[in-house]
Chain A
Amino acid sequence: DVKVTQSSRYLVKRTGEKVFLECVQDMDHENMFWYRQDPGLGLRLIYFSYDVKMKEKGDIPEGYSVSREKKERFSLILESASTNQTSMYLCASSLSFRVSGNTIYFGEGSWLTVV
């Protein structure tokens, strides 16, 4: 069965802390994504990666960085957490969308509260 696992479901961090959100997929997918989801704004793409050590900025990369040292793992890093980064973060993975029949699989989400 397809599996995207986000290691932390609920986190509470203080302003200024460095925060790591970890995501692992077991499907040997090339693509991995980080989205955040906020009421009224929907899902917004933060960063994505189409290969190991490769990364591309999404729509809202400011304040975030990512790391992809291994194919199965994609980490989202908040260098200095701020209250406006309180959100639900969703990790996803897929084979290339340009190949027909490929869909995207999501993790369960990580709820981050910055106080």
Chain B
Amino acid sequence: KQEVTQIPAALSVPEGENLVLNCSFTDSAIYNLQWFRQDPGKGLTSLLLIQSSQREQTSGRLNASLDKSSGRSTLYIAASQPGDSATYLCAAPERGGADGLTFGKGTHLIIQP
């Protein structure tokens, strides 16, 4: 069974800093990995989806990388802003190609103004 771990669990940084969120997964036979954002009391919004054939994916100030061989993904946020404050979750598909996703427990990010 796929297991997904996110480090750190929480992070508080001043506005303007560049930061890296980490995600590791146990089953490297994945065809993609996704990063999500969740605001308090809300559902999840997809940020980036990286296919297994890709090494990274970019959207604005966000860049996600994927290293299947080591079972790791990182989400890089450039020039952080207070509006980036949220919980960030990564998710990897279950082994065997079933269509469920396994989620990490997330990194709770606070950007201080």
> CB within 8 Å of B: which residues of A?
4, 31, 33, 35, 40-43, 45, 48, 50, 56, 58, 90, 92, 94, 96-98, 100-109, 111
Interface-side segment among B17-25, B45-53, B71-79: B45-53
Residues of B contacting A106 in the complex (Cβ-Cβ under 8 angstroms): 36, 43-45
Q: Is B101 an interface residue (CB 8 A)?
A: yes
CA distance A103 to B53 in the complex (A): 16
Residues of B contacting A104 in the complex (Cβ-Cβ under 8 angstroms): 34, 46, 91, 101
Q: Are A90 and B43 in contact (CB under 8 A)?
A: yes
Q: Are B51 and A98 in contact (CB under 8 A)?
A: no
Q: Across the A-B interface, how many residue pairs have beta carbons closer than 8 Å?
A: 61
From B49, B93, B100, B103, give the contact of A42 (CB < 8 A): B103
> CB within 8 Å of A: which residues of B?
31-32, 34, 36, 41-46, 49, 51, 53, 89, 91, 93, 97-106
Given A100-B53, A104-B46, A106-B36, 18 other A-B contacts at CB below 8 A?
A43-B89, A45-B102, A48-B99, A50-B99, A90-B44, A97-B31, A97-B32, A98-B31, A98-B99, A100-B31, A100-B51, A101-B49, A103-B46, A103-B49, A104-B91, A104-B101, A106-B43, A107-B43
Q: Which residue of A lies closest to B6 (CB)?
A: A42
CA distance A56 to B97 in the complex (A): 13
CA distance A33 to B43 in the complex (A): 13
Residues of B contacting A45 in the complex (Cβ-Cβ under 8 angstroms): 100-102
Q: Are A43 and B99 in contact (CB under 8 A)?
A: no
CA distance A105 to B43 in the complex (A): 9
Q: Are B100 and A48 in contact (CB under 8 A)?
A: yes
Residues of A contacting B34 in the complex (Cβ-Cβ under 8 angstroms): 103-104
Residues of B contacting A94 in the complex (Cβ-Cβ under 8 angstroms): 99
List 16 A–B pairs whose Cβ atoms lie within 8 Å, in order of A's numbering: A42-B89, A42-B106, A50-B99, A56-B98, A90-B44, A94-B99, A97-B31, A97-B93, A97-B99, A98-B97, A100-B32, A104-B34, A104-B46, A108-B43, A109-B41, A109-B42
Instruction: Sort A-B residue pairs by CB-CB distance and give the 8 closest, nearest first.
Output: A106-B43, A42-B105, A43-B103, A106-B44, A103-B46, A108-B43, A103-B49, A45-B100
